[in-house]
Amino acid sequence: VERLVALSRHNEIVKEAERRVQQAKEKMDSTYRLAYHIMAPVHWMNDPNGLIQWNGEYHVFYQFHPDSPKWGPMHWGHVKSKDFVHWERAPIALAPSEWYDEGGCFSGSAVNDHGVLTLIYTGNVWLNEEQTELKQYQCLATSKDGIHFEKDPANPVLSEPPFDCQGHIRDPKVWKRGEDWYMVLGTREGNNGKVVLYKSKDLRHWEYVNILAQSDGSLGYMWECPDVFRLNGKDILLFSPQGIEPVGDRFQNLHQTGYLVGTLDEETGKLTHGAFEELDKGFDFYAAQTFEDERGRRILFGWMDMWESPMPTQEHGWAGALTIPRLLELTDDEKLLMKPVPELQLLREEHTHLESISVKQHEATYTVPVEGDRLELLVRFSLTDFRGNAFGVKVRCSSDGSEETIFRYDTGDSVVTFDRNRSGRGEGGIRRAVLDGSKTDLITFHLFIDRSSVELFVNDGRLVMTGRIYPSETSQGIELFTEGGDATVFSVDAWKLKDIW
Ligand code: FRU
């Protein structure tokens, strides 16, 4: 009886929240709404959660506040797709409804437990009115149809942290190796971020194993959203440390998302690893999560925003989006590559192909005869006969020259720059990163442009830079430029992309 009462209480809360969402949608200003990225139907979203392919379909959940364009009591929003391109909205999957999650259903993951779609999330409870003190519980919710979820009667399945972490222990990521379930959680001790490892036979009883990895004092005060997976014979810990101090061009964002590569000993629970590396060198990338699909591919979504950055669309009644899905690969020199999943080609509409374009430095720019605010661009520069210092591409250019978003490559130091100082509204700034790895004569800039975002993939995912930009709707031009010498741009391919929403 208790179980049925809890279930109908949750269903009722979800139904009411959905009704408010429908109402709020009507008042939303859609100027900057993205055409092919995952967003909440209205109001606020942050982290991707519960990524899984289940019965053939891709499920993506996300941190959702159905009642305001600002962060608040967290629900889990839900979309699903058969191809990573056409997304269907499902009702809210989780809403705060129990004593152990009354302050929000925080981030977590999903597994297939003998055919049952099982979500593992953090129940957040505020201990004071000012929301400065909290306690966090790990919880389960299950579904047989992949749409409606029931919180597990065994909740919370984990209540006490292994050491004093000021209440901060969250974002369970669960996986199975052999007969055992493993779970990592993000936490802190004093001002050092840590990831802890747990083990279970049934997802309901968890045994503490060890601190899997931790900050040596230079890697942030809190580690959020840990994820552990194997690629190319190595174990990778992906996580989002908060508050690493900038070092030169590195760690320029307020918070980071990056990875450690090494070997995980499940018995001792220790990861032996190399140095921390930021995964995306742009402005807006955080709380990324991965999953393995039925074809054995490791796929990632990130939150395409950053805590505490100004978000101009809040005035429009919404905020937050996910990146495009990215395929992960680990190179032999232990670098994690991110590539757009090939399914995104289904978005392509009109195609333009240009070859051997000569860009003269005295003409300053070459205008590509394609315009758009939702485009895929593949620009291939040949370095072979180039004697200049830099070349690049400008997107979302206005006709009066006042707005542009610049991506450039400097031949001297192999630095790629993403400059959004003239990108319209929002925060400006520059991000720079060295394109290292194999020397090549060809530099490819693969860009995914949407109404208020740009994602740049350089040389097949060796370097990735993501940023939100808020130009005028009419700023849709594309230009190539060079500095210090003429250039021949090997080729440009441009595709207009569909609006799937
Ligand atoms: C990361 C995060 C998580 C937490 C969630 C709350 O962005 O802070 O650690 O579970 O967001 O919305």
Ligand 1 atom closest to residue 74's alpha carbon, by position in its atom list: 12
Q: What atom of ligand 1 comes closest to residue 108's alpha carbon?
A: 10
| pLDDT for the residue numbered 275 | 97
- The closest of 473, 466, 371, 482 to 420, measured between CA atoms, is 466
Q: What is the pLDDT of residue 364?
A: 67
Provide ipTM, 2 decimals: 0.99
- Rounded-to-integer distance, Cα 134 and Cα 125, Å: 6
DSSP 3-state of 8: helix
Q: What's the confidence (pLDDT) of residue 363?
A: 64
- Note the pLDDT of residue 273: 98
Mean pLDDT of the chain: 96
Hey, whose CA ends up nearest to atom 1 of ligand 1? 287
Q: In this predicted model, what pLDDT tens digit does every residue of 196-228 receive, in sequence order?
A: 999 999 999 999 999 999 999 999 999 999 999
Confidence of residue 385 (pLDDT cuts 50, 70, 90): confident
Q: Is 46 in the pocket of ligand 1 (CB under 6 A)?
A: yes
Mean pLDDT confidence for 290-309: 97
Q: Which among 101, 135, 171, 256 is the best mutation to test ligand 1's pocket, defined by most ligand atoms within 8 Å of the CB?
A: 171
CA 63 to ligand 1 center in whole angstroms: 8
**CA 106–ligand 1 middle distance (angstroms):** 6
Annotation marks residue 410 as catalytic: no
**Is the CB of residue 170 below 6 angstroms from any atom belonging to ligand 1?**
yes
| Residue identifier of the C-alpha nearest atom 8 of ligand 1 | 224
Q: How large is the average pLDDT for residues 109-125? A: 98
Which of 168, 169, 225 for a ligand 1 pocket mutation test, highest count of atoms within 8 Å of Cβ?
225
> Could you say which of 29, 47, 333, 450 is catalytic?
47
> What is the per-residue DSSP string for 53-90?
EETTEEEEEEEEETT-SS--S-EEEEEEESSSSSEEEE
Q: Say if residue 207 is exposed, middle or buried (CB neighbours under 10 Å; 0-12, 13-18, 19+).
A: exposed
Please give the number of the atom of ligand 1 that sits closest to the Cα of 225: 9
C-alpha 400 – ligand 1 centre gap (Å): 41
101 or 360: which leads in pLDDT: 101
pLDDT at 465 over 90: yes
**Predicted confidence band of residue 438 (pLDDT cuts 50, 70, 90):** low
Residue 122 has pLDDT above 70, yes or no: yes
Percent of the chain with pLDDT over 70: 99
Q: Is the CB of 106 under 6 A from ligand 1?
A: yes
409-427 pLDDT, tens digit each: 999 999 999 999 999 999 9
Query: Which residues lie closer than 8 Å to 464 by C-beta, 6 or more apart?
Result: 279, 280, 281, 282, 326, 338, 455, 456, 457, 458
Which pLDDT band holds residue 55 (cuts at 50, 70, 90)? very high
Query: In ligand 1, which atom is closest to the CA atom of 47?
Result: 7
| Most informative mutation of 122, 224, 255, 257 for ligand 1 (most atoms within 8 A of CB) | 224
| Ligand 1 close to Cβ of residue 49 (< 6 A) | no
Cβ–ligand 1 distance for 47 under 6 Å, the answer: yes
Q: Is the CB of 171 within 6 Å of ligand 1?
A: yes
Q: Which of 327, 326, 286, 325 is nearest to 303 (CA)?
A: 286
Give the Å distance between the CA of 498 and the centre of ligand 1: 31
User: How confident is the model over 34-62, as a mean pLDDT?
Assistant: 98
361 CA distance to ligand 1 centroid (A)?
47
Q: Quick one: pLDDT band at residue 360, thresholds 50, 70, 90? A: confident
> 414 C-alpha vs ligand 1 centroid, how far in Å?
35
Question: Is residue 486's pLDDT more than 90?
Answer: no
Ligand 1 touching residue 122 (CB < 6 A): yes
**Which residue's alpha carbon is at the smallest distance from atom 6 of ligand 1?**
106
Q: Looking at ligand 1, which atom is closest to the CA of residue 107? A: 10
Mean pLDDT value across residues 316-320: 98
**Measured in angstroms, how far is the CA atom of residue 120 from the centroid of ligand 1?**
14
Long-range contacts of 137-140 (CB under 8 A, 24+ apart): 137/100, 137/101, 138/108, 138/172, 138/183, 138/185, 138/206, 139/100, 139/101, 139/105, 140/203, 140/204
The sign of the torsion formed by the CA atoms of 313, 317, 320, 322 equals negative
Pocket lining: 107 vs ligand 1, CB cutoff 6 Å: yes
Q: Indicate which atom in ligand 1 lies nearest the CA of residue 240.
A: 1
Q: Is the pLDDT of residue 274 over 80?
A: yes
Ligand 1 pocket residue status of 101, Cβ below 6 Å: no
